[in-house]
Amino acid sequence: MQSMSPAPIVSNSGPLLVILPGLGAVATTFIAGVELARRGTGAPIGSLTQLGSLPDGLGVQTPMNTALPLAQLDDLAFAAWDIHGEDAATVAKRSEVLHGAHLAAVEPFLSRLRPMPGVHHPEVLQNLEPVDICRLQHRREQAEALREDVRRAQKQAHADRAVTVFLTSTERKQRETAAHQSLAAFEKALDRNDATITPTQLYAYASLKEGVPFANGTPNNSVNLPALHELALEMCLPVAGRDLKTGQTLMKTVIGPGLRARLLGVAGWFSTNILGNRDGAVLDDQEAFRSKEATKKGVLDSIFQKEEHPELYSSLSHVVNINYYPPRGDQKEGWDNIDLFGWMGYPMQMKVNFLCRDSILAAPLVLDIALLLDLAHRSGMSGMQEWMSFFFKAPMSQPGLDPVHDLFEQQRMLNTVLSGLAARHAQQRREPLVAEARTTVRTGTAAARG
């Protein structure tokens, strides 16, 4: 359950360590973009925290990074885990997302970031050849090794605060078991090396046990599980997820609400895309694709709400395909065919061809999630942060409640919470001034009387 303390928002001074399980194309693009923005040679386009604004209640828009006590870009430090062992510069070159002057400018900076050995369970992640992995075999030992990594990384960064944004590859679809239903059961499962405990869950567990908020940018099960959500509440930590909302699903959460608002019927929505990076290679494994398919297909159900208008949406056929096509690399291309109908049932079609760059769309989400999760933690918020649904394909929601997928409703939720935090921050800044003014008045009154 999400909670908010009335206590003052803790200061944003000092380094904030962003820990990234998965030092791939998204992570290196994010890190490079932050460094370029710090130098004034790259624009953080797509980032709400850097370019967005909040209304003050009187119709005046205030820049978000002015209205809120967010961590500053200059205060960000980075650490990562990965199973390939390549430094961030090597990964960025291989990923071919950044080119020319951008890559040359940050190459020395990126080359200094080498990942910590990652946890690899081959039964849940295939189509990749690990190079540098944690050699411990028992899950309890792996969890303790990850916890030690967190402590060491924070010490090296001189950071009292950290957040983890999870970006590794999609695991094969896993079922929820009794081990995931409570923290006590999860702890026992770790002790007996239960095979249903996945690497994603180990990273989440280790982060939370070390007091680090956790956001899941993949479809993998982690803090959405009862056991790990219980741990987040026990540690008074905010968590968010799942699966970063970037290309094709972003378009669905924009177009779908428009069709719903006009009460146009939708008979079918066929989606296919090609992707050539490592994410595409992993999703070429059909069991891994099933995890991604679940988060991509769940979007339209809550947007169209077929129970309210069965005559418009009850027969909706929603098909999703992802095809691994190496020549395209990180430049994903998505095609959507929407069969809709209008006045008196006459059919129409809409076709969308989105040629996007997966990591370019994901990088600003990672920045916003890291900064807002840190703000939530300093504001006394804990448990699932439903107001952060804006950033995810399969946002977490309270038991018994459907997640919100409408992008505009998600934005309203986000702005409502952030406006409340901005008001708290403004009040917090005013209180010393009011106290000082009262002291001045009392002193002046006493002097006049004397």
CB 225 within 8 A of CB 201: yes
What is the Cα–Cα distance from 191 to 200, expressed in whole angstroms? Answer: 17
- From start to end of 10-134, where are the E strands? 16-21, 53-55, 61-63, 76-82, 116-117
What pairs with residue 55 in β-bridges? 61
pLDDT computed for residue 450 by the predictor = 54
Instruction: Please state, as a whole number, how many other Cβ atoms lie within 10 Å of the Cβ of residue 11.
Output: 9
pLDDT computed for residue 39 by the predictor = 97
- 């540690």: which residue's tokens? 235
pLDDT computed for residue 7 by the predictor = 79
What is the Cα–Cα distance from 218 to 235, expressed in whole angstroms? Answer: 23
pLDDT computed for residue 373 by the predictor = 98
pLDDT computed for residue 448 by the predictor = 55
Domains belonging to the chain, first-starting first, are 16-244+360-426 (3.40.50.720), 248-355 (3.30.360.10)
* Six-digit token string for 100: 């020319």
Question: First CA to last CA across the chain, in angstroms?
Answer: 57
Could you tell me which residues come within 8 angstroms of residue 121 by beta carbon, excluding any fewer than 6 positions away? 198, 199
Relative orientation angle of helices 88-95 and 100-111, to the nearest 10 degrees:
150
- 């899950």: which residue's tokens? 139
* Six-digit token string for 58: 């009187």
Give me the average pLDDT of each 10-residue run along the chain (450 residues). Answer: 66 97 97 98 97 83 95 98 96 92 96 97 86 94 98 98 95 91 98 97 98 97 97 98 93 96 97 85 77 78 92 95 88 94 98 94 98 98 97 91 92 95 89 55 54
* Closest among 177, 263, 278, 288 to 227, alpha carbons compared: 177
If you ran DSSP here, which 8-state letter would residue 119 be given? P
pLDDT computed for residue 4 by the predictor = 47
pLDDT computed for residue 145 by the predictor = 98
If you ran DSSP here, which 8-state letter would residue 36 be given? H
**What's phi and psi for 298, nearest 5 deg?**
-75, -10
Angle (nearest 5°) at CA 388 between 201 and 333? 80
